[in-house]
């Protein structure tokens, strides 16, 4: 039931943007991409697909979102904090 609810929530643009994703330029949600994406071998071709889908803003957010964790977690071997969309 939880998995079905999570998948259904991805169809609502307000819920997706509330999680911090940049989806203003995306034509419709949910995005369904064919398995041919896995056969791409170069970074340039994957970047072109991401740009064509309108997801370049969200990709930049995920790449630049990694930062140093606050608190004692740094001393315990968990120095970097990565966003969920990364």
Residue 85: pLDDT above 70?
Answer: no
Select the more confidently predicted residue: 61 or 48.
Answer: 48
**What are the sequence ranges of the domains in the chain?**
2-81
In terms of Cα–Cα distance, which of 27, 76, 77 is closest to 52?
Answer: 27
Decide: residue 2, CB within 10 A, 0-12 exposed, 13-18 middle, 19+ buried. exposed
Rounded mean pLDDT, 59-82: 84
Compute the distance between CA of residue 12 and CA of residue 55 in angstroms, rounded to an integer. Answer: 16
pTM beyond 0.75, yes or no: no
Distance CA 34, CA 53 (A): 13
State the average pLDDT over residues 16-43: 84
């Amino acid at each position: 039931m939880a998995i079905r609810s999570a998948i259904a929530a991805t169809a609502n643009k307000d819920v997706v943007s509330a999680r911090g994703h940049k989806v203003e330029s995306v034509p419709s949600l949910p995005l369904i991409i064919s398995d041919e994406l896995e056969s791409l071998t170069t970074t340039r071709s994957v970047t072109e697909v991401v740009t064509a889908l309108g997801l370049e803003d969200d990709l930049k957010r995920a790449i630049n979102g990694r930062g140093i964790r606050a608190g004692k977690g740094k001393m315990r071997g968990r120095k970097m904090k990565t966003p969920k969309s990364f």
